[in-house]
Structure 1
Amino acid sequence: MQRKIYNTDPRCMLNLENTVFVKAEKFINAEPLNDEDTIVYEMPTEQKESIHQLIEEYDKREPFDVEACKIQFEEVQNSLLAGLVNRVPAEIYSQIADHRVFVLGYCTKEMLGQLKRHSKKNEKWIQQVDSEYYNVQLYEGIPEKLLSDFGFHDCKVLNVIKGNDIIITFDNSGGFTNYNKLIFHDAKISCEENIEGSYWIYEELYKKPNGYEAHMLFSDAHTNHDLIVSCSDITFDIDKGGKVYAENTR
């Protein structure tokens, strides 16, 4: 597998250009699609240049190093073994005959059945928590459209402008939203880390007496970053070549 990955030509990544992406919830629920539910991926110039750099490096690469791969495999397996006890329930962990084989993705049919039942139990619990959280948000009076629009998953933060309002501009080419600007009005930051260059991965929104409190989690290649903002209102913009189309939550 490692040899196959090592010898995979990065030119294949250029095929992503003009790929049509569909909102996940629409696809999962098999709902009818509208134009706003699809995004045609236009690869940024920066990404194309990065791919061409990878192609240049690929064409100059050394032969695949089998011995180095063996050492890396052992290190990864030891890491998985060390973390297995925290990822599998104790009653299941104690029944695993060979943990080395298990971390490679192999187990008996009986063990697989137990894991599936445990997974379904966890999934049911998560769905229940998500449903309760969503209902609480509606009960608090957060507009349903705001709940729907407040999500920039997989969008990259290009810059953050701080003033009375906080304006976050995104590269939304890898996300599932048409918006590329998020504005917090009359904003105050209570928890802040450098989020420029990172990707939006999670959000929570709460109603407050004077507006909203937004909790956001971002991630880059090294770590996660938190941002918590209190504001009077939240609006979204679509910036197209100097023209800005705004939508608010009122």
Structure 2
Amino acid sequence: MKYFTKEWYDEMQVSGFLAFHETVEEWEEELAYYKEEGIDYEEINRRNLEDIRADLLKFLPEPFYPYIQDGTISTGFPSLELREMAKQWEREHEARLEALGDEYSRHYDSIKNRLPAGAIQLMEQSLHDATVISVEKAQEEMLIIKLDCSGGFHYFTDIQLTFTGVTEADIPTEFAGAWWLYNEIYLTEHGFELHVLFDSPMVEAKIIAQDVTIKIMD
């Protein structure tokens, strides 16, 4: 993938991690709620920090490092300095996301009229948050992916993607439960090259095919 890569996704998770409470009162209210529920909120934050520490050190500039290393980036109400640094980084991150999105939109618009109708439908009727039911390499040059879209943004039922004229299918066949996150598409001489970023497990899949049809399953 060129645009919506695993690294791009990981950086978005860092952005989410830096979503601090705006006021001390909000912080204290949340602490009180979790305490009432018998949940150690600060311990959860410490565990979350350990899970994302490597990415914080990878994507955030050095002034953040002391807060990451001593844990104060996720424990207690953040200092004014930390909140201001986070806001500045977030502004820069949002600008990068917007620029990348605009670049991909220009790319897609430049090839859309030469894509098969099924590929256009796949790109424009979002499969974000659909979950994989099965992946089947049914026969030579054919790939079938069944998806549960009940928790997604379109279809809201099970669908079947049937790729034909397949010359490459770099996607696990034991893949049930994986989440379809983001996709991007490229034009090839005889069809298209589709890239999809999945989660659980995190996989960048690639399918090169001549056509694709989308069928709503009964």
TM-score w.r.t. the length of structure 2 is 0.66
Distance verdict in 2 for CA 1:6–1:238, change over 3 Å: farther
Contact 1:81–1:103 (Cα < 8 Å) also in 2: no
Paired AA for residue 102 in structure 1: I
For 2:89, what is the secondary structure of its paired residue?
Answer: helix
Contact 2:127–2:153 (Cα < 8 Å) also in 1: yes
Distance verdict in 2 for CA 1:112–1:228, change over 3 Å: same
Match of 2:212 in 1: 234
Q: Distance in 2 between matches of 1:5 and 1:70?
A: 6
Q: How does 1:112-123 map to 2 (within 5 A)?
A: 112-123=83-94
Q: Distance in 2 between matches of 1:147 and 1:73?
A: 37
Structure 1 residue aligned with 2:165, among 186, 204, 211?
186
For 1:196, what is the secondary structure of its paired residue?
Answer: coil
Q: Which residues of structure 1 form unaligned runs of 5+?
A: 9-63, 242-250
By how many angstroms is 1:216 displaced?
1.5
Q: Distance in 1 between matches of 2:178 and 2:68?
A: 41
By how many angstroms is 1:234 displaced?
2.0
Match of 1:40 in 2: none
Q: Distance in 2 between matches of 1:176 and 1:70?
A: 31
Q: How does 1:31-110 map to 2 (within 5 A)?
A: 76=47, 79=50, 82-83=53-54, 84-93=56-65, 96=67, 99-104=70-75, 106-110=77-81
Q: Distance in 1 between matches of 2:36 and 2:70?
A: 30
Match of 2:195 in 1: 215
Aligned-residue Cα RMSD (Å) equals 3.5
Paired AA for residue 121 in structure 1: E
By how many angstroms is 1:205 displaced?
0.9
Match of 1:13 in 2: none
Distance verdict in 2 for CA 1:134–1:78, change over 3 Å: closer
The answer to whether 1:154 aligns with 2:132 is no
TM-score w.r.t. the length of structure 1 is 0.58
Q: Distance in 2 between matches of 1:75 and 1:191?
A: 37
Match of 2:147 in 1: 170
Match of 1:135 in 2: 106
By how many angstroms is 1:130 displaced?
1.2
Q: How many residues are aligned here?
A: 178
Percent identical among aligned pairs is 21
Q: Which residues of structure 2 form unaligned runs of 5+?
A: 1-29
Q: Distance in 1 between matches of 2:123 and 2:53?
A: 39
